[in-house]
Copies of this chain bind each other. A is one copy, B any other.
Amino acid sequence: MSGHDHQLHEGDSLKRAARDRLTQQGEQWTGMRAAVFDALAGFDKPASAYDVAEAVSKAEGRRIAANSVYRILDIFVAANLARRVESANAYIANKHPECLHDCIFLICDTCGQTVHVDDDHLSASIRKAAENAGFSAPRPVIEVRGTCGECDAGMK
């Protein structure tokens, strides 16, 4: 369908991929960062920084302040280990940190489930539109709010 065959990691494989990617970027893979990544990857929907902080706190058995989590999430986003979902003020782990995509999120307003679509043709068109308007270094934010099939069916 999307025309390329990158690997969709999960579990330990994802964790290794994340660590490799982060270190390749010249950043450190510390215990704290591993804990934050685990927590984020453990959510099946976009999680707010505070949600992540709470999850990490529980896992570590001590209070982790939100700002530490913010710092780490910023690094993750910069390194492509995670994505920020702007319309939800939340973050989600990237299942294939090694591939750069302008990705499209479909977010269910009812249940919060978020699916991730890559359509390089579409995003290239958007980049091009931005460049035509004189914008450089464009970073597209493409999200669609709506109702997922499951919730839609349950709405009768």
Contact = CB atoms under 8 A, between A and B. Distances in A.
B138 A146 contact: yes
Contact of A86 (B86, B106, B150): B86
Contact of A146 (B87, B136, B152): B136
B106 A141 contact: no
Nearest to A153: B134
A117 interface: yes
Contacts of A87: 86-87, 141
Interface residues of A, number: 33
Interface of A: 86-87, 104, 106, 108, 115, 117, 119, 122, 125-127, 129-130, 133-150, 152
15 contacts: A86-B86, A86-B87, A86-B143, A87-B141, A104-B126, A106-B135, A108-B135, A117-B133, A122-B122, A127-B144, A135-B148, A136-B147, A137-B146, A138-B144, A140-B143
